[in-house]
Structure 1
Amino acid sequence: MNDFDALQAVIRRLAAERQAEQRACEAFLNALYHALRTASGPGLPLNNVTFDFTPDPAERLRPPPPGGWHAAWLRLGLCEVLVRVRRDEGAFVGEYGEGGTFHLTGVTEDDLILLARRLLRDVAAAYGGGGLVGRSGMPLN
């Protein structure tokens, strides 16, 4: 077996794992989108929120290898924010905007709404000149 055939074999062998990760990450991004729509509270949906899956601009291989990033552009009214997510030992690890990060081991509705509210605050701070703020309350930039 030559190197090319070995590459094709490993890609085929890991196809199910990659596809399961992709479905999980896309479901997470979809759930985050719905959390953003309800982040203002019950009965107060944000109607100007949409999203589009996109190939991760930083990913250098297609299809992404196991553990690779999956991405979507979230439109929040007048701006858009790129959200990247991947699976890491059962958790969802991600990045958004200008340095925002998250690590969720649980993906309950409350977890997602808390993340959505943090994302909205961080993006507002980035546009307002405050930059992103970490868990300690200190600016990240």
Structure 2
Amino acid sequence: MSEFDALQAAVRRHAHERQAEGRACEAFLNALYHALRAASGPGLPLNNVTLEFTPDPANRLRPVPAGGFHAAWMRLGLCEVLVRVRRVAGAFQGEYGEGGSFELETVGEDELIALARRMLRDVADTYAGTGQESARPLN
């Protein structure tokens, strides 16, 4: 078997695992979108929140290998934030904006709402200049 054939076999052999992981990450991003819409509290939906799935800009392979990030742009009114998520040992691990990160082992409504509110605060802090890294090095 040539190296090319071995590559094709490996891609085919792990297709089901990759697809299941991709569906789980997209479902997580969709649930986070709904949590962001509900972050203002019951009966106060944020109508100017949108979701746009996108290939993760850091991925260097297609299809995304198992354990790779899946991404979406979340429009939050006047700004957009890139959210990246992957599955690691059953938990959802992700990144957003300028240095925000999270890991959720339990993905319930309360955990998602808490994450959504934290994201909103972190992004607001970034724009206000009080974020984790208000002055970044040039290189």
TM above 0.5, yes or no, is yes
Matched length: 135
Whole-Å separation in 1 of the counterparts to 2:112 and 2:132 = 19
Q: Which stretches in structure 2 are left out of the alignment for 5+ residues?
A: none
1:85–1:94 CA contact under 8 A, matched in 2:
yes
C-alpha RMSD of matched pairs (Å) = 1.2
Q: Which stretches in structure 1 are left out of the alignment for 5+ residues?
A: 134-138
Q: Report the residue type matching 1:52 in the other structure.
A: E
Whole-Å separation in 2 of the counterparts to 1:43 and 1:11 = 46
1:83–1:97 CA contact under 8 A, matched in 2:
yes
Give the C-alpha shift of residue 111 in structure 1.
0.3
Aligned to 1:81, the other structure's residue is in SS state strand
1:115 correspondence with 2:115: yes
What do the CA deviations read for 1:18-58 (whole angstroms, capped 9, x no partner)? 00000000000000000000000000000000010000000
Which structure 2 residues correspond to residues 61-80 of structure 1 after superposition, within 5 A? 61-80=61-80
The aligned counterpart of 2:58 is 58
Runs of 4+ in 1 over 2 A off after TM superposition: none
> TM-score normalised to the size of structure 2?
0.95
1:10 correspondence with 2:10: yes
Give the C-alpha shift of residue 132 in structure 1.
3.4
> TM-score normalised to the size of structure 1?
0.93
Give the C-alpha shift of residue 99 in structure 1.
0.2
1:91–1:104 CA contact under 8 A, matched in 2:
yes
